[in-house]
């Protein structure tokens, strides 16, 4: 074998060794580093909006606190049952023959709370018929509307009865209350 | 005198010597290649380590951003739920207590006026939809609610009746206040004016309740109500 051929083989071997070494040792590291750089760029892009997000979080928190405050202070509870018996217990007045001569509670069937609104909430009407002084009728209305739970008075009908005592007449009143409730959703 | 070089080295020795030189060059070349390869590999490892360090820092920062994103998403969801609850509540609840409406009416009664009858109704407009058709027209949405009322009673003069109507109108609670009739009626042997007043208002508006400073009427804690 001539010396020039020796030289060619040697150079070829050297190139092969260096190439193989680079492929196994160098290239994977550079490739992984390149991938990591791309990841870093993506993460930094996300981080660019951080200050905007902080502002948004502050704004949302403030808004949510205001809404929660409004819910806590201005809105009443909607229970999951009408609890007509509990209502009657609260609204029942002593029939003493002086302030209250008669009081009758009549419950009606439950129906949707808002006609056509497709809400889960329902109402159960409770009609309170009374023969009493106006003060007692009015007090009953105030008690009903001051309760913690949501209760609507849908109608009031008060007729003054002067037949027995013209100076201090009694009122024949019919107050229709609507106990709002929201039955819990049935499971699957 | 010209001298001629004399080469006494045998050919075999010369050839071996030349081969050794060539082999030495090969070894040097291989060594250089290996060193270069080693340097490059070391550099690549260093670059990789540096990139990993930067990635750790970026991930820590990204974690903060992601947690902020998650918090913002949670707040948006909670806010949406709260708004929905309030909207639903306002749809269900009446914007004004009927006891306040009654109290307001009584507050504006002139001293000479007496009410015989109070009828107040708060709810959906009557006769707008029959009970049979309620299930079929759900797509129409909630029916607007109204506040309607009728007051019947008597007063000393027509001026008192007119004053009552004017006062009810000026309250701003009712959109329509109309006097249905006023006619003569005898009360305890005296001539009085019997009247009936109709009231109507929308319950789609928002009401604001304001306390007034005046002696409380017999019914107790009464307040006047204004439309916002």
Q: pLDDT grade, residue B222 (50/70/90)?
A: very low
Candidate from B142, B188, B218 with C-beta closest to A135: B218
Chain B residues with CB-CB distance to A135 below 8 A: 218-220
Chain A residues with CB-CB distance to B69 below 8 A: 53
ipTM over 0.90: no
Length of chain B: 228
Partner residues linked to B161 by β-bridges? none
The yes-or-no verdict on residue B130 having pLDDT over 50 is no
> Number of helices and strands (H, E) in chain B?
3, 6
Determine whether the interchain pair B99/A153 forms a contact, defined as Cβ–Cβ distance below 8 Å: yes
- CA dist A128 to A12, A84, A139, A175, B77, Å? 108, 12, 13, 5, 42
Partner residues linked to B147 by β-bridges? B122, B201
What are the structure tokens assigned to B183, written together? 């006619």
Q: pLDDT grade, residue B11 (50/70/90)?
A: confident
Q: What are phi and psi of A103, to 5 degrees?
A: -150, 130
Distance CA A138, CA A132 (A): 10
Alpha-helix residue ranges (DSSP H) falling in B93-207: 98-107, 158-171
Determine whether the interchain pair B92/A10 forms a contact, defined as Cβ–Cβ distance below 8 Å: no
Chain A residues with CB-CB distance to B59 below 8 A: 43
The yes-or-no verdict on residue B127 having pLDDT over 70 is no
Top-confidence residue, B190 or A133: A133
The predicted structure's pLDDT at residue B133: 46
pLDDT tens string for chain A (188 positions)? 566 776 777 778 778 888 888 888 888 888 999 999 999 888 888 777 777 788 889 999 999 999 999 888 888 999 999 999 999 999 998 888 888 999 999 999 998 888 777 788 899 999 999 999 999 999 999 999 999 999 999 999 999 887 776 677 889 999 999 999 998 877 55
The yes-or-no verdict on residue B128 having pLDDT over 50 is no
Calculate helix-pair angle for B98-107, A134-145, nearest 10 degrees: 140
Candidate from A47, A113, A119 with C-beta closest to B65: A47
Q: pLDDT grade, residue B28 (50/70/90)?
A: confident
- CA dist A3 to A12, B10, B23, Å? 14, 19, 10
Which strand (E) or helix (H) includes residue A42? helix A27-47
The predicted structure's pLDDT at residue A3: 63
Name the average pLDDT for chain B. Answer: 81
Candidate from B51, B83, B138 with C-beta closest to A33: B51
Per DSSP (E only), the strands in A38-183 are 100-107, 111-112, 122-132, 151-161, 170-181
Distance CA A181, CA A159 (A): 30
**pLDDT tens string B70-112:** 999 999 999 999 999 998 898 888 888 899 999 989 989 988 8
pLDDT above 90 coverage of chain B, percent? 30
Distance CA A120, CA A175 (A): 25
């Amino acid at each position: 074998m001539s010396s020039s051929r020796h030289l060619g083989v040697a150079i070829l071997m050297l190139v092969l060794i260096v190439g193989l070494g680079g492929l196994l040792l160098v290239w994977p590291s550079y490739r992984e580093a390149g991938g990591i750089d791309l990841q870093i760029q993506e993460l930094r892009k996300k981080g660019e909006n951080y200050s905007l997000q902080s502002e948004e979080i502050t704004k949302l928190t403030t808004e949510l606190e205001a809404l929660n405050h409004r819910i806590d202070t201005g809105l009443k509870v909607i229970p999951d049952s009408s609890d007509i018996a509990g209502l009657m217990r609260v609204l029942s007045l002593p029939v003493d023959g002086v302030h209250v001569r008669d009081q009758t509670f009549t419950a009606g069937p439950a129906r949707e709370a808002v006609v056509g609104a497709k809400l889960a909430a329902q109402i159960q009407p409770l009609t309170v018929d009374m023969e009493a002084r106006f003060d007692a009728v009015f007090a009953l209305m105030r008690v009903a509307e001051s309760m913690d739970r949501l209760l609507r008075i849908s109608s009031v009908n008060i007729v003054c009865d002067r037949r027995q005592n013209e100076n201090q007449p009694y009122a024949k009143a019919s107050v229709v209350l609507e106990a709002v409730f929201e039955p819990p959703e049935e499971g699957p | 005198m010209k001298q001629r070089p004399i080469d006494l080295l045998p050919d075999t020795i010369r050839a071996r010597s030349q081969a050794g030189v060539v082999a030495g060059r090969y070894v040097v070349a291989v060594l250089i290649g290996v060193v270069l390869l080693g340097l490059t590999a070391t550099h690549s490892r260093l670059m990789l380590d540096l990139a990993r360090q930067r990635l750790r820092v970026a991930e820590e920062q990204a974690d903060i951003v992601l947690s902020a994103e998650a918090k913002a998403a949670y707040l948006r969801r909670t806010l949406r739920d709260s708004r929905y609850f309030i909207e639903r509540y306002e749809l269900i609840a009446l914007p004004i207590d009927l006891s306040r409406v009654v109290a307001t009416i009584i507050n504006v009664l002139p001293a000479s006026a007496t009410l015989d009858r109070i009828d107040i109704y708060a709810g959906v407009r009557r006769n707008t939809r029959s009970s049979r058709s309620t299930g079929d027209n759900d797509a129409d949405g909630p029916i607007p609610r109204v506040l309607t009322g009728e007051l019947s009673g008597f007063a000393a003069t027509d001026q008192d009746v007119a004053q009552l109507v004017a006062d009810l109108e000026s309250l701003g609670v009712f959109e329509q206040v109309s006097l249905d009739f006023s006619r003569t009626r005898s009360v305890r042997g005296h001539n009085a004016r019997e009247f009936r007043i109709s009231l109507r208002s929308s319950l789609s508006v928002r009401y604001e309740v304001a306390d007034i400073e005046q002696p409380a009427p017999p019914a107790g804690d009464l307040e006047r109500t204004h439309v916002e």
